[in-house]
Structure 1
Amino acid sequence: MKDPSDEFYDRPDVKARDPRLESQLYGKQMSSGINFEKYDDIPVETSGNNVPEAITNFDDSALDPLLKSNVKMANYTNPTPVQRNSIAIVTAGRDLMACAQTGSGKTAAFLLPILSQNFKDGAPDLPPSAGGGYGGRGRMVYPVSLILAPTRELALQIYEETRKFAYRSWVRPCVVYGGTPMIDQKRDLERGCELLVATPGRLVDLIERGSISLSMIKYLVLDEADRMLDMGFEPQIRRIVQQEDMPETRQTLMFSATFPRNIQMLARDFLHDYIFLAVGRVGATSENITQTVVYVEEDEKRSLLLDLLHSDPTIEHEGHPTPNLTLVFVETKKNADMLCIFLQNNRFPATSIHGDRTQREREFALACFKSGRTPVLVATAVAARGLDIPNVNHVINFDLPTDIDDYVHRIGRTGRAGNTGKATAFFSQARTATLSRSSTRF
């Protein structure tokens, strides 16, 4: 039952408050929200027909009152440039191609206007083919919004943010991804799903099994679109968008840190009369990151890594109240495990994450890293895109990537939300040519 003093007491579409759920969703953020005031000087460019004027703050925007309440509980204070513009563009019903530096608040930039419109529209009527709606074993679900993401970790992160913003509403979010038993995800879907976050491969599997219909999709989001193409998901994406039952009248949003030709072609095929939004220099690194390149022979890398870690006193003592987190990138899964063991043997609390670890192991490693229990995380590229981990102070490229865009996304794990960070890259004679080619892009 809703309390008569509840500001949404007269709105039947808004559920009663749940203190336990509020603690779960917002508890860790209530005392340390993100302040985006440092973003004010970042350049923003828009192009397209009749570009809507950007919002200035959340309170005065056209967002639904329930969403504004959830935004406050999530402790979002000022919208970032990509959020200011995206909220206005999506609220106006326009398609969007957004390029923004990593760590710029892209997830909220598409979730807030989509959920706001969901709240205002109310729950849609299911088609007659739904057979009476949700709740039965084997029932097909008809999500209204679909968000595609390249990795399991990013999909989970988007899902957790959606839970915060969809609190007390009729919108029930679900997430599906590979690497975990499908039966558990199907059971969750059968409880109802209005907003679906998915990796392309698992979504195709569930569509083929008759668990999901895209016939009621109003909003389609492709997050980290460049990464999805890099990972070879274009055939699955094109099948999902062009060959299933998704309506062509939907609103489509694409978010990417870079804008290469293959992304331009995808935008041409999927978007209609879209607005192009560029925040900062497309494909560039954040100016909040101090970058250092160190020449080191291969057999001396480990020794240098220990020196760098010893220089940060907060890492050496497990349980430090405000640990500075260090993310170390390597090229191979084997190296990730070996380097992690090396650090542990040298009394540095470290963990690792890569594609061969089970989903449960990966989630546990990320949780330990975020909490500071293991403030050093050794990772392959699986963790390089999209993950928003607070307090990452230092990114170390133990193995320098061969592609400049990979470098940009790796070091984008620090210097997020207007904060400062540092990035150190190791390179040897074998990597000199790679660095020389890459440096022309900065």
Structure 2
Amino acid sequence: AFCFPIISGIMRDQRLNERPRGSRTVYPLAVILSPTRELACQIHDEAKKFSYQTGVKVVVAYGGTPINLQLKELERGVDILVATPGRLNDLLERARVSMQMIKFLALDEADRMLDMGFEPQIRKIVEQMDMPPRGVRQTMLFSATFPREIQRLAADFLSNYIFLAVGRVGSSTDLITQRIEYVHDTDKRSHLMDLLHAQRDTQDKQSLTLVFVETKRGADSLENWLCMNEFPATSIHGDRTQQEREVALRSFKSGRTPILVATDVAARGLDIPHVAHVVNFDLPNDIDDYVHRIGRTGRAGKSGVATAFFNDNNASLARPLAELMQEANQEVPEWLTRYASRASFGGGKKRSGGRFGGRD
């Protein structure tokens, strides 16, 4: 959504050849911030495709890997810098990157960046590092949900902005068939095995299945258990090195290991095509996280299935879950409706889209 207009704008910009040359500091014309290394790499790869033979140079910078290689890449020139907030702050403090000539600023998965505690770093980049003010630069902010924190960020960073919503903000799509099943914690593994057996085709081929768990230890444990039971699986979580995560994602996307066990590191932003089934082995505590997770399937006009294992530990999620399913024209189990009613009677928290929650 933002790569094409940024590349087009840079190609028309007279300053493309007017920036300082020969110094250790580089002056990109556009910066794209993303919350995770994986998403930054994905955006970089797409921007490289779109800028092929245009002369526009795209560079990616993220933490978790040695900075020296990224510095060498920057020294070759950069027009569009895709970065995570932490690594960009590091580059700015080293005076290896300057924000003085920024024409375009894109914040992708803004709600995720705030969830991960990046707001102080983002504000420092935008407000304290010589970036041209709003109105001089063009700012684009993308977010699947719009809580008050995101609304404040939009008000502070964007000038006379236009808000566009596809469907209802924070809602799901009817391309995803949602199934909520009551499963005790002790029965989750056997229940998952039944699901995986059921979705194998006549050639015993497994559809791409993304299984979400809450903890890193849980991801490792479930991956090992699946492999022991002859279900090819891999996993990604925050303790994996960048190389390990990239290898796991490639293996999953290719179908070599068609089951990916993940914590929320994979929940937002990553474009993993052809995911047929998302399983919330452990439900998250927040309905927005649930929306992000199931949004890994039902993409690009294709249908998908999302199954969630619910039990008494998830009672606080019953009401927003039932409301979400109703909005997406899904069948809500009677037992979930009863849970939701009890939560409502007890003053349970209702879903709120804020002033951005309407339909456009």
Which TM-score bucket, shorter chain as reference?
0.7 to 0.9
1:13-162 correspondence runs (5 A)? 109-121=1-13, 124-127=16-19, 130=20, 132-133=21-22, 139-162=24-47
After TM superposition, give the deviation of residue 123 of structure 1 in Å.
5.8
Report what 1:269 is aligned to.
Answer: 156
1:182-261 correspondence runs (5 A)? 182-248=67-133, 249-261=136-148
After TM superposition, give the deviation of residue 116 of structure 1 in Å.
1.5
Is the helix fraction higher in 1 or 2?
2
After TM superposition, give the deviation of residue 209 of structure 1 in Å.
1.0
Report what 1:426 is aligned to.
Answer: 309
Rounded to whole Å, the distance in 1 between the matches of 2:104 and 2:200 is 47
Change (3 A) 1:433 1:261: closer
Provide runs of 4+ in structure 1 moved above 6 Å: none
1:403–1:438 contact (8 Å) kept in structure 2: no
Report what 2:56 is aligned to.
Answer: 171
Given the alignment, which residue of 308, 312, 322 partners 2:195? Answer: 308
Change (3 A) 1:156 1:344: same
Rounded to whole Å, the distance in 1 between the matches of 2:42 and 2:15 is 25
After TM superposition, give the deviation of residue 121 of structure 1 in Å.
2.8
Rounded to whole Å, the distance in 2 between the matches of 1:316 and 1:110 is 41
2:10–2:16 contact (8 Å) kept in structure 1: no
Aligned length: 323
SS in structure 2 at match of 1:305: helix
After TM superposition, give the deviation of residue 314 of structure 1 in Å.
4.6
What stretches of structure 2 of length at least 5 have no aligned partner?
328-360
Query: Quick check: 1:334 aligned with 2:217?
Result: yes
CA deviation map 1:345-377 (0-9, x unaligned) = 001110000000000000000000000010000
Rounded to whole Å, the distance in 2 between the matches of 1:324 and 1:437 is 29
SS in structure 2 at match of 1:147: strand
2:236–2:248 contact (8 Å) kept in structure 1: yes
Aligned AA for 2:300?
A
SS in structure 1 at match of 2:160: coil
After TM superposition, give the deviation of residue 336 of structure 1 in Å.
0.1
Q: CA RMSD in A?
A: 1.5
CA deviation map 1:157-181 (0-9, x unaligned) = 1011001100001111011111111
Name the TM-score, length of structure 1 as normaliser: 0.71
Rounded to whole Å, the distance in 1 between the matches of 2:285 and 2:323 is 14
Change (3 A) 1:360 1:428: same
Rounded to whole Å, the distance in 2 between the matches of 1:384 and 1:281 is 19
Name the TM-score, length of structure 2 as normaliser: 0.87
Rounded to whole Å, the distance in 1 between the matches of 2:207 and 2:280 is 17
After TM superposition, give the deviation of residue 122 of structure 1 in Å.
5.5
CA deviation map 1:379-399 (0-9, x unaligned) = 000000011111100000000
CA deviation map 1:84-113 (0-9, x unaligned) = xxxxxxxxxxxxxxxxxxxxxxxxx11111
CA deviation map 1:98-155 (0-9, x unaligned) = xxxxxxxxxxx1111111122233662344xx3x347xxxx11111110000111111
Rounded to whole Å, the distance in 2 between the matches of 1:419 and 1:404 is 23
After TM superposition, give the deviation of residue 436 of structure 1 in Å.
3.1
Given the alignment, which residue of 235, 257, 261 partners 1:378? Answer: 261
SS in structure 2 at match of 1:392: coil
Report what 1:287 is aligned to.
Answer: 174
SS in structure 2 at match of 1:175: strand
After TM superposition, give the deviation of residue 185 of structure 1 in Å.
1.0
Rounded to whole Å, the distance in 2 between the matches of 1:315 and 1:367 is 25
SS in structure 2 at match of 1:124: helix
Query: Quick check: 1:343 aligned with 2:226?
Result: yes
1:384–1:409 contact (8 Å) kept in structure 2: yes
Report what 2:344 is aligned to.
Answer: none
SS in structure 1 at match of 2:17: coil
